[in-house]
Amino acid sequence: MVSSSREFDQCKTTGSSFESCTFGGVTVRGGDWSFVNLRHAPLRKMDWSNVRLVEADLYGADLKESRWTNATLTRAVLQHADCTAADFIGADMDGVDFTDVTLKKTKLDVMQAVQVARSLGAIVE
């Protein structure tokens, strides 16, 4: 039996470009995806828990219903990404600009909510 599933288990893809790639049947388990180009990538319902994505370019990506528990998204680009019903609880999102990011029903922890407010111009004390 031939499987169409693909696994990235603890892979280092630093600096790689996945623009225009499809991710159907792909599983990512940990690893370092820092500085990757995932612009406009269809990442819906994928689990990116425990993956390092420092300064990853997720511009315009479909992140609906995806999971990012304990992922490192420091300074990642999320402009125009659709994060509807995504779960970012526990993810490190320092330096992320949430301007122009769709956050409907998105799960955030308190620190991330503060970052969102600051990105939108709020003064949080």
Most confident segment among 1-5, 16-20, 103-107: 103-107
Q: Which residues contact 1 (CB under 8 A, 6 or more apart)?
A: none
For residue 69, pLDDT over 70 is answered with: yes
Residues 36/56, Cβ–Cβ less than 8 Å: yes
pLDDT band with cut points at 50, 70 and 90 for residue 87: very high
> DSSP letters along 36-60, please?
-B-TT-B-TT-B-TT-B-TT-B-TT
Beta strand 26-29 with 6-9 is parallel
Higher pLDDT, 2 or 124: 124
- Lowest mean pLDDT: which of 15-24, 30-39, 103-112? 15-24
Measure CA 84 to chain center.
12
The 3-state DSSP class for residue 84 equals coil
Q: Quick one: fold of 1-118?
A: Pectate Lyase C-like (2.160.20)
What one-letter code names the amino acid at 89? I
pTM score above 0.85 = yes
Domain boundaries, the chain: 1-118
pLDDT band with cut points at 50, 70 and 90 for residue 113: very high
pLDDT band with cut points at 50, 70 and 90 for residue 5: low
